[in-house]
A and B are shown apart, each in its own frame.
Chain A
């Protein structure tokens, strides 16, 4: 079973509202988590790297004020889509590495389907 839990799996919200997505590592601590976005029939694009206890690192072109990331503990990172618009509708996936080196397994959450109406 998945060792990274992502919640909710689906969410529908109205334009202008904010939505929070949670990513939890189960049975391991993750100082770093990753947030990806996947458009329909497209690849996963890294949005940001979430660092426990410090600011997230955003990829070029990703608005940090729109996609707020908080990594308050070693097992939880949250992504908040603020003032959501229909173009924010997408599939969001988080991942976390169980261990500190390149050989450590990288686990993905089951993703969150966000629909903004």
Chain B
């Protein structure tokens, strides 16, 4: 079975600074996807970034980037130039390659607070 671990229940960062959220996972699969989702107070789940395991290049989306270390089964999220609107719960998630169509396994989340 796959597991996703987020070891930081809460983090805070000053506006405009950079913060890194940690995520590790365990799987015997060789092909899979990893995601970071954001859940603001509105509770809407918003996709932040995704990474295909077969790609060595780390995914980036504007101020968001990941450090994907496949051998170490680590998938951290870096948020640069943090903004007040980044305040939210952040969930790391895993999905097997092919056939599952959306069966995501989530970590317990990290509550990020961006302070002015």
Residues of A within 8 A of B (CB): 2, 32, 34, 41-46, 49, 91, 93, 95-97, 100, 102, 105-106, 108, 110-111
Q: Which residues of A contact B105 (CB under 8 A)?
A: 46
Main secondary structure of the interface of B (DSSP, over half): loop
Of B42, B43, B100, B105, the most chain A CB neighbours within 10 A belong to: B43
CA of A41 to CA of B44, assembled, Å:
15
Decide: A110 and B102 in contact? CB cutoff 8 A: no
CA of A41 to CA of B98, assembled, Å:
30
Main secondary structure of the interface of A (DSSP, over half): strand
CA of A97 to CA of B99, assembled, Å:
12
Q: Which residues of A contact B91 (CB under 8 A)?
A: 43-44
Q: Which residues of A contact B33 (CB under 8 A)?
A: 102
Count of residues in B whose CB is under 8 Å from the partner chain: 20
Q: Is B78 an interface residue (CB 8 A)?
A: no
Q: A102-B33, A102-B95, A102-B97 are in contact. Are A46 and B103 (CB under 8 A)?
A: yes
Decide: A100 and B101 in contact? CB cutoff 8 A: yes
CA of A111 to CA of B44, assembled, Å:
7
B10 to chain A, nearest CB (A): 10
A1 to chain B, nearest CB (A): 10
B36 to chain A, nearest CB (A): 13
14 extra interface residue pairs, beta carbon distance < 8 Å, beyond A32-B102, A106-B104:
A32-B101, A42-B109, A43-B108, A44-B45, A46-B103, A46-B104, A91-B43, A93-B45, A97-B101, A102-B97, A102-B98, A102-B100, A110-B42, A111-B44
